[in-house]
Amino acid sequence: MDLFDLTGKVAIITGSSRGIGRAIAEAYADAGAKVVISSRKQQACEEVANAVNATHGEERAIAIAASISDKAMLQTLVSETRRRFGKIDILVCNAASNPYYGPMAGITDEQFRKIFDNNVLANHWLINMVVPEMIERENGAIVIVSSIGGLIGSDVIGAYNVSKAADFQLVRNLAIEFGRHNVRVNAIAPGVIRTDFAKALWEDPEAEAALNRVTPLGRIGEPDEIAGAAVFLASKAGAYVTGQGIVVDGGTTIRGGL
């Protein structure tokens, strides 16, 4: 399994106190990486870091809270990671926001800006904070957790989908900028995954049954089913992959019926 080995690598994963981010952090630690657990709540991050360390019997995880809305906190996340783990090899921009459901006509400017600030601008900030050392070492992997929402239209989560489409473009641009330095930038596009973020889509059994009907695999996804793609993109297995968006959605988008 050398292709997927992350021994000695250091990874920051935003939004890793639960859901998809936690599953990615756990999978990275299982693959040998040291992981930085981050979300807005230090206590929640410490619980995850403690669980990871208990599993591996050594300090494989640390907890550093940071809101992705706050540039200074993101800088502290990066500098604290360097101070405690020495470097950053892998960055996963996973945390995101969606404060609005409804037609585009009803979204406030503040909500629209919040979506863009958290889902696009914060990724740009964080990537540019970590990438100089990756360029210097001629080695780095950056993963943005986008969404199949960025590939399809919606009359309910339109601004969120525009932001997730922008993430696909961000990885394409940065893959070109950083490619010569062996820094790869990719996106993962999950379908509906059973997390708090998507609760409105699955907590009602009828809504979940409707999703199951339009999903070729016949069910919504679980957080750890996104983690494999994140390990692939961060490891030697993904060494020649850059600028891509990997769809992990049980086949929903190829059916075209979400």
Ligand X SMILES: NC(=O)c1ccc[n+]([C@@H]2O[C@H](COP(=O)([O-])OP(=O)(O)OC[C@H]3O[C@@H](n4cnc5c(N)ncnc54)[C@H](OP(=O)(O)O)[C@@H]3O)[C@@H](O)[C@H]2O)c1
Q: Catalytic amino acids?
A: 160
Minimum Å gap between C-beta 136 and ligand X is: 27
87 binds ligand X (CB under 6 A): no
Positions 171 through 210 that interact with ligand X (CB under 6 A): 190, 192-193, 195-198
DSSP of 150-185: GGS--SSBHHHHHHHHHHHHHHHHHHHHHGGGTEEE
Q: Buried (b) or exposed (e) across 92-108, using 16+ Cβ within 10 A?
A: bbbbbbbebeeeeeebe
215 binds ligand X (CB under 6 A): no
Nearer to ligand X, 131 or 145 (CB): 145
Cα Rg of the chain (Å, integer): 17
Cα–Cα distance measured from residue 39 to residue 76, given in angstroms and rounded to the nearest whole number: 13
Positions 146 through 175 that interact with ligand X (CB under 6 A): 147
Positions 103 through 142 that interact with ligand X (CB under 6 A): 118
Cα–Cα distance measured from residue 195 to residue 127, given in angstroms and rounded to the nearest whole number: 25
Cα–Cα distance measured from residue 255 to residue 169, given in angstroms and rounded to the nearest whole number: 24
Minimum Å gap between C-beta 14 and ligand X is: 6
Minimum Å gap between C-beta 208 and ligand X is: 12
End-to-end alpha-carbon separation of the chain, Å?
A: 36
Give the residue, chosen from 35, 52, 68, 229, that forms a contact with ligand X under the rule CB under 6 A: 68
Give the residue, chosen from 10, 12, 13, 19, that forms a contact with ligand X under the rule CB under 6 A: 19
27 binds ligand X (CB under 6 A): no
Tally of CB atoms within 10 A around 137: 14
Contact positions vs ligand X (CB under 6 A): 14-21, 39-41, 44, 67-69, 94-97, 118, 145, 147, 190, 192-193, 195-198
